[in-house]
Copies of this chain bind each other. A is one copy, B any other.
Amino acid sequence: MDGRGTAGLLYLREEEIRFAMELLFYGYRDFTAGPDAILAELGMGRAHHRVLYFVGRHPGITVSELLAILRITKQSLGRVLQPLIAGGYVVQSRGRSDRRQRLLSLTSAGEALERRLFESQRALLARAFRDAGGPAVEGFRKVMLGLLGAEARARVGLRVSGAGAPVAGKVA
């Protein structure tokens, strides 16, 4: 299988690892470039995008849960959430069972902006998927899943349904 019939299965040479590292570095940067440009025009940044994304993904999410996903402090979230609320992108509502909670949701303006940001990345990702092909996409998911820590894997695993068998991973 491997060109050089060296070791049997997967010979993890350093070069191979460094290649992957650079793919992650350049890939992540180029993947976020589109939204970054859009947000810059609105005086917002990547942090705003993350909030819009996860609030859109989990309508009615609590502040605590959002903090856990983003792994930032409430002070950091506040700095970015306040403008989003003031700008009419996000609304708060008090929890019905627990009135201390402020459940977050997107307004229609928030949904529109999130959609715009999403489409920018969707286009790039869809092209990469199409060019790579179905089996490659499946491999991409497997490898990326292996990079996630236990917490993130659990979070993302909740919706892994259609993505095929999850990686056989030991979650230390």
Contacts and interface: CB of A to CB of B under 8 A. Distances in A.
Interface of A: 1-4, 6, 9-31, 33, 50, 53, 57, 71, 118, 121-122, 124-149, 152, 155-156, 159-160, 162-169, 172
A144 B27 contact: yes
Given A16-B167, A22-B155, A132-B143, 9 more contacts: A11-B166, A15-B159, A17-B126, A24-B28, A30-B152, A124-B147, A132-B139, A132-B172, A140-B140
Copies per assembly: 2
A161 to B, nearest CB: 9
Contacts of A9: 130, 133-134
A51 to B, nearest CB: 13
A131 B156 contact: no
